[in-house]
């Protein structure tokens, strides 16, 4: 019952609901793609699952129409980053925030063009929004890997600072390393799909079958759900 209550509480939040919609959408695409490609007798079921996946993806696109303000507030609050933070991390984060901020209006224009609200070329805006998403993912991967290496050096350093590091602090650093590694893996899976959705001729663009897109998205989504659940568990443990 406690687990059910936590799931219900997560679904009350926008981010929690978005994670569920994303996970279900990619799972439907994974299973539907496999059925369509490898089980001709089950192709009708597979086609329906792919249709559900497309609708869930469209649902997330519509919901993102309202994300600009939240992203702007976050970008403004972060600014150029806290001075005590690593310089590389700060500037990579700033560039990532800029890419994310520009991503939303580009996607909105693409959506509006597909919906016949605006008379513009939707393909151009979809390409630009996907490129910005891919850039943000690349920057996120770089930030995560840099952080992992920096924490690893601190933990393995033979200096007096490291040798006197409290056990609780060491465990916190190790937990952060695992979290950053999972973030890098999740972003890599999303980056594979981002490249696939770029115009043909760019690396492996357009070459993924539906089931592979679903697999990459499912991996990324499940990692995101796991990290959110883990963060929630740590917050509960820390609360009095």
pTM of the complete model beyond 0.95:
no
Q: What is the DSSP string of 183-215?
A: HHHHHHHHHHHHHHTSPTTSTTTT---HHHHHH
Could you tell me if 186 and 23 are in contact, meaning their C-beta atoms sit under 8 angstroms apart? Answer: no
Look at residue 160 in the predicted model and tell me its pLDDT.
44
Model confidence pLDDT, tens digit, residues 21-77: 999 999 999 999 999 998 777 689 999 999 999 999 999 999 999 999 999 999 999
The Cα–Cα gap between 240 and 229 comes to 19
């Amino acid at each position: 019952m406690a687990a059910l209550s936590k799931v219900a509480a997560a679904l009350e939040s926008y981010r929690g609901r978005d994670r569920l919609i994303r996970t279900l959408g990619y799972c439907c695409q994974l299973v539907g793609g496999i059925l369509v490609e490898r089980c001709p007798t089950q192709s009708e079921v597979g086609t329906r699952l792919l249709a559900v996946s497309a609708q869930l993806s469209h649902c997330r696109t519509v919901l993102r129409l309202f994300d600009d303000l939240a992203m702007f507030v976050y970008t403004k609050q972060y600014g150029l980053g806290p001075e005590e933070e690593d310089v590389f991390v700060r500037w990579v984060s700033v560039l990532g925030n800029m890419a994310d901020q520009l991503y939303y209006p580009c996607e909105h224009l693409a959506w509006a063009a597909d919906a016949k609200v605006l008379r513009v070329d939707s393909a151009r805006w979809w390409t630009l929004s996907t490129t910005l998403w891919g850039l943000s993912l690349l920057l996120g991967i770089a930030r995560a890997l840099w952080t992992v290496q920096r924490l690893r050096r601190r933990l393995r350093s033979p200096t007096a600072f490291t040798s006197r590091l409290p056990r609780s602090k060491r465990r916190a650093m190790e937990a952060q390393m695992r979290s950053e590694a999972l973030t890098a893996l999740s972003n890599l899976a999303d980056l594979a799909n981002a490249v696939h959705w770029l115009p043909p001729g760019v690396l492996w663009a357009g070459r993924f079958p539906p089931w592979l897109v679903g697999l990459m998205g499912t991996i990324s989504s499940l990692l995101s759900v796991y990290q959110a659940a883990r963060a929630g568990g740590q917050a509960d443990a820390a609360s009095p």
